[in-house]
Amino acid sequence: MILLLIVFNRQLERIHVESPDKKVGIVTFSSEVDVLGDGSGQPKHFAGDKLDNYDELIRLGQEHARDLDLKPISDTYEYVTIIHN
């Protein structure tokens, strides 16, 4: 797990330096799904029966995407590096 976090952080750092206008959104998943976005807003959490229903997942994803306003990583780098620590 530590190695994965190091790689994740390094990739974010690289994007921040090389492509500061790029927008980055973070989604974590295992038995549940968390859409963290760019870290500047409230995360969305999906769990339970919703995860077994493909059509419901598509609907929720589309609904959430409409409300998601990702900012460039130059504005959100401090948030996304805090999220996973």
Q: What is the pLDDT of residue 11?
A: 93
- Could you give the C-alpha distances from 68 to 12, 40, 45, 53, in angstroms and in order? 19, 11, 14, 22
Q: Average pLDDT, stretch 10-20?
A: 95
How far is 2 from 15, CA to CA, in rounded Å? 20
How far is 51 from 17, CA to CA, in rounded Å? 36
Domain boundaries in the chain?
2-83
Q: Is the dihedral of CA 4, 31, 35, 44 positive or negative?
A: negative
In 10 A of CB 12, how many CB atoms? 19
23-80 tens-digit pLDDT: 998 888 889 999 888 988 888 899 998 899 999 989 988 988 888 889 999 999 988 8
Q: How confident is the model at residue 85 (pLDDT cuts 50, 70, 90)?
A: low
Q: How confident is the model at residue 82 (pLDDT cuts 50, 70, 90)?
A: low
